[in-house]
Amino acid sequence: MSKYKMTMMLAMLSVGAAALPSCGDRQQPADAAEGWRTDMAWIRDSLPLLHYDLFMYQPRESLLVRLERLEARIDSIGDMEAALGLTGVLASMECSHTGIAFWDQCEIRAFPLSVIWLEEGIFVTAADTSFAELIGSRLTGYDGRQAEEAAAAMAGLFSSTNETATRTSAERFMMLSTCMSALGYGNPEGTTDFVFIRDSGDTTKLSLAPMDFTYSNMLYFNTAPGVELPIWLSSDDCYWFRYLPDRRMLYCAYNSCGLMQGYPMERFVEQLDSTLRVNRVADLVVDLRRNGGGNSLVATPLIQWLRGLPVSGGPRTSLIVGRWTYSSGILNAQEIAAIPGVTVYGERTGGSPNHLGEVRTAVLPYSGLTVSYPTKYFETVDSPGRTMTPDFEVPLTPDMLFHGSNRILDLIGSHTRSGVTDPENE
């Protein structure tokens, strides 16, 4: 899988079938319901002792009430429903990196689609080559109900400190047929009905069968015919830049906190500086909206260079963040945003400035499912810091993915020409 697909989180899942542990050696009590009660007891009694603070956002009473509700129906549900129920209990605590690898409980089969959840709805970003014409269309129906309803059901299985991160998790997993069936959507043994609205306004209805996760004939939107990529998606490199003379803009993308082989960050910054000096640059733009993290120290030369630029008398510096800005990416974004004169554009981040980390895992005694939990809290801002909110919020739209729209760059340029620096004065 390319770095592009990993960074964008638009592949079917971020796990491969070979990574799934076997549950064949788990304990098998005579009564399965009693086994699940053992797992619930472990969550209640043992996990709080291992977790940094399981009750950071929700009280202990909330956990106990939800466990009691699940226990009340445990005799009448199957293993998949029990696994998802326990996953939802942990998700309700809103602690990032706290969850259950529920996909270990099921055969990894998925419908041949990949989607993204935008404000306008849910859109197809990849499809089996047989359905390539669906890329860019809006998914409106899922098993006779609204697609957003199905996405919300999946979203309830993921612990997160903000809605942005929950949505990105839901869109990645809502095509898992077995899991969605346990939530009441679709048929893992037969076909499931989907409804799409094309750019033309035409409606397409398809009955799709789930396929083995390892199939490889998926077509992604970045290579699909008829799709025009905007500037920010034109390169998968960890860091790259381009001078846009028509805009008088020096555009710098920092897609990943990793070093490129044979191209150290110091050389990259030298080339940036040289380009800035020989061109009439009105706007310097640093784009971190695809940066999911890595080593935060990689960006040190870039941040030092940005700090050394004049606040007045030089180009106006703007930072772009978004739903895929996480971990070290958001740490670097916070550092850049703190530089005097920098204006922040984009979406609220999926990553939290203050966040739980240093994740460890444990195995539930009955089911053998893996539980992840954080052991450290990283605090970078004085506020609760559950997301990073731009000065100018610009939601991601279908045009910004499929039709070449550079909406944020257009807005930055208009603000520079009009002298706008404060959202209150826009």
Domain boundaries, the chain: 17-105, 108-221, 231-351+387-415
Closest CA to 134 of 143, 125, 146, 142: 125
The alpha carbon of 373 is separated from its chain's Cα centroid by a whole number of angstroms, namely: 19
Quick: pLDDT tens for 145-170. 999 999 999 999 888 778 888 899 89
For the cut 80, the answer to whether the pLDDT of residue 24 exceeds it is no
Residue 298 vs residues 257, 259, 260, 294, 317: alpha-carbon distances, Å:
6, 7, 10, 9, 20
Residue 17 vs residues 13, 87, 175: alpha-carbon distances, Å:
10, 20, 15
Quick: pLDDT tens for 284-306. 999 999 999 999 999 999 999 99
Tokens, residue 314: 């030089």
- Using N-to-C axis directions, what is the helix angle for 300-308 and 327-337, rounded to 10°? 10
Question: What does the pLDDT average to over 235-262?
Answer: 97
243, 274 contact by CB (below 8 A): no
Considering only residues 318 and 187, tell me which one the structure prediction assigns the higher pLDDT. 318
Question: What does the pLDDT average to over 101-111?
Answer: 79
Domain at 231-351+387-415, CATH homologous superfamily: 2-enoyl-CoA Hydratase; Chain A, domain 1 (3.90.226.10)
Q: What are phi and psi of 276, to 5 degrees?
A: -65, -40
For the question of whether the overall pTM of this predicted structure is more than 0.95, the answer is no
For the cut 90, the answer to whether the pLDDT of residue 136 exceeds it is yes
Quick: pLDDT tens for 354-387. 878 889 999 999 999 999 999 998 887 776 667 8
Helix (H, G, I), strand (E, B) or coil at 294: strand
Tokens, residue 208: 């799709």
For the cut 60, the answer to whether the pLDDT of residue 114 exceeds it is yes
Given this model, what pLDDT does residue 68 score?
Answer: 97
Helix (H, G, I), strand (E, B) or coil at 331: helix
Closest CA to 127 of 143, 186, 193, 136: 136
For the cut 80, the answer to whether the pLDDT of residue 425 exceeds it is no
Residue 358's H or E segment, with its range, is strand 355-363
Closest CA to 196 of 132, 142, 130: 142
Beta strands 370-378; 99-100: pairing state: antiparallel
For the cut 90, the answer to whether the pLDDT of residue 241 exceeds it is yes
Residue 295 vs residues 21, 258, 381: alpha-carbon distances, Å:
28, 6, 19
CATH code for residues 108-221: 2.30.42.10
Given this model, what pLDDT does residue 103 score?
Answer: 78
Tokens, residue 223: 């290579």
Which residues pair with residue 403 across a beta bridge?
228
For the cut 60, the answer to whether the pLDDT of residue 18 exceeds it is no
Tokens, residue 122: 């849910």
Helix (H, G, I), strand (E, B) or coil at 308: helix
Quick: pLDDT tens for 348-357. 998 888 878 8
Q: Calculate the average pLDDT of the chain.
A: 89
Which residues pair with residue 374 across a beta bridge?
359
Given this model, what pLDDT does residue 384 score?
Answer: 67
Please classify residue 311 by burial: count the beta carbons closer than 10 Å to its beta carbon, then call 0-12 exposed, 13-18 middle and 19+ buried. exposed
User: Per-residue confidence at 187, pLDDT binned at 50, 70, 90?
Assistant: confident
Closest CA to 84 of 186, 12, 184: 184
The CA-based diameter of the chain, rounded to the nearest angstrom, is 77
Question: What does the pLDDT average to over 37-43?
Answer: 97
User: Per-residue confidence at 189, pLDDT binned at 50, 70, 90?
Assistant: confident
Buried b (16+ CB within 10 A) or exposed e, 31-45: ebeebbbebbebbee
Sheet holding 99-100, edge to edge: 99-100, 370-378, 355-363
Given this model, what pLDDT does residue 10 score?
Answer: 35
3-state helix, strand, coil in the chain (%, to 5): 35, 25, 40
